[in-house]
Structures are given as structure tokens and as C-alpha cells.
């Protein structure tokens, strides 16, 4: 069985606390877009979030963090605990992921502890595949309060998916866009359809 986990526990402070997964790009929420992609490539999807009610209509299980307050690293820890196998982890604010690319990310983890894209902006640790070999290192860091995800890569064997490899899946440069700010939302809207808006749901 293959598993993907959508991390949806962030505060979205730069977007006024909006639920980023409910932002609408080109007429569809980011969550709906991600679910469509992930359902084509994995057997099981979970959402890692504290507010289960916000995802009641998603049609997939919602799981709270096993270690509350541990940020994205805690989300990865929870995803591995739920999956018990290699797990594809994606942030809830990435509207332009494709089934071809996430399949490539999962396949790239074969023979490594994790497979992580890295482009000119650095690593993208929340569009990555983590295997159970990372679990002990993650637990140690969470217990120590050392929560920066990219620092984990000092402790595990990472298969880096570099910019040339990414480019084969990303002709327009939007593939790994995260919606963190109003400017990001505007860029997504300009590049991929009508203005992004907050879903009324």
C-alpha cells in the first residue's frame, strides 16, 4: 500500500490565518486539486491537521499530530507513524503538483531514507518522500525541540531531486509554488487562471 499525507496544520499568518487548503485557484480549491492528483498515484491519503472539522468533507481521514506544536517536522513524524511505510508528504498550499512528479518523488526514495526536491530556492521538504529509516532521527529532533526540517537532512541519507530533474516536469515554473503570501496567490492566479479567492466553505 502507498500513502500520501497532506500537512495542513500551519498558521498561515501571512495570509491572515486563512485555511490555505481552501484557497481557490482556477475555480477549484487547492485541497481538491491535490486530492485528485494523489488519488491517481497512491492507495491511501491522510490529512495531518488539528482541526478535523475543517476537513470533514474531504473524504479522507484527518489525523492530529502525535507531538502537538512540533511544526512541519512533527507533521512528517505523524505521517510516518500513520503510514508505517514510505510516505509522500505534501504541504496543503501547493496547487500545481502533478501525478507524474509526485510519482517520480516516491520512486526516487528507493535506496534512500528520503527523496527531496531542491531547486534554486533550496530544498522543498514538504513535497518529499520519507521512509521509516527517518523515524528515529525525527523523534530525536522533535524531543530536543530542533524542529527545522532541513536540518534533518544532516542525519539521514537524502536522494536530492535537483533542478534539472525537476525541470523535466515543470515547463512553466509553477510546479513547486507554495501559497504563503498574497503575492504568491496573485502569481498563481495570473499564471493559472482567474483571481484566487477564499472558498466560501
pLDDT at 14: 47
pLDDT at 96: 94
pLDDT at 37: 97
* Burial label, 3 (beta-carbon count in 10 A; 0-12, 13-18, 19+): buried
Q: What is d(CA 6, CA 120) in angstroms, rounded to the nearest whole number?
A: 24
pLDDT at 17: 58
Q: Where are the alpha helices (DSSP H) in the chain?
A: 30-39, 71-83, 99-108, 135-144, 163-167, 182-192
Query: What is the full per-residue pLDDT of the chain (201 aa) written as tens digits?
Result: 899 999 997 654 545 557 889 998 888 999 999 999 999 999 999 999 988 888 989 999 999 999 999 999 999 999 999 999 999 999 999 999 999 999 999 999 999 999 999 999 999 999 999 999 999 999 999 999 999 999 999 999 999 999 999 999 998 889 999 998 888 787 777 765 333 333 333
Quick one: three-class SS letters along 159-193? EEECHHHHHCCCCCCCCCCCCCCHHHHHHHHHHHC
Q: What is the DSSP letter of 60?
A: S
pLDDT at 172: 87
Q: How far is CA 10 from the centre of its chain?
A: 11
Domain architecture of the chain: domains with CATH: 3-198 (3.90.550.10)
Q: What is d(CA 66, CA 75) in angstroms, rounded to the nearest whole number?
A: 8
pLDDT at 2: 95
Amino acid at each position: 500500500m502507498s500513502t500520501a499525507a497532506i500537512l495542513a496544520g500551519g498558521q498561515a499568518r501571512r495570509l491572515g490565518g486563512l485555511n490555505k487548503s481552501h484557497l481557490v485557484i482556477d475555480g477549484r480549491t487547492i485541497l481538491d486539486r491535490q486530492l485528485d492528483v494523489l488519488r491517481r498515484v497512491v492507495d491511501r491519503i491522510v490529512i495531518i491537521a488539528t482541526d478535523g472539522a475543517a476537513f470533514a468533507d474531504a473524504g479522507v481521514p484527518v489525523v492530529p499530530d502525535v507531538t502537538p506544536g512540533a511544526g512541519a517536522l512533527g507533521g512528517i513524524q505523524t505521517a510516518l507513524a500513520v503510514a508505517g511505510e514510505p510516505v509522500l508528504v505534501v504541504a496543503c498550499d501547493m496547487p500545481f503538483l502533478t501525478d507524474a512528479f509526485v510519482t517520480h518523488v516516491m520512486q526516487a526514495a528507493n535506496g534512500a531514507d528520503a527523496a527531496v526536491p531542491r531547486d534554486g530556492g533550496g530544498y522543498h521538504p514538504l513535497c518529499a518522500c520519507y521512509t521509516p529509516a527517518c523515524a528515529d532521527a525525527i523523534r530525536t529532533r522533535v524531543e530536543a525541540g530542533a524542529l527545522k526540517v532541513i536540518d534533518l537532512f544532516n542525519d539521514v541519507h537524502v536522494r536530492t531531486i535537483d533542478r534539472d530533474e525537476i525541470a523535466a516536469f515543470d515547463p512553466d515554473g509553477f510546479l513547486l509554488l507554495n501559497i504563503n503570501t498574497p503575492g504568491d496567490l496573485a502569481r498563481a492566479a495570473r499564471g493559472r487562471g482567474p483571481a484566487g479567492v477564499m472558498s466560501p466553505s
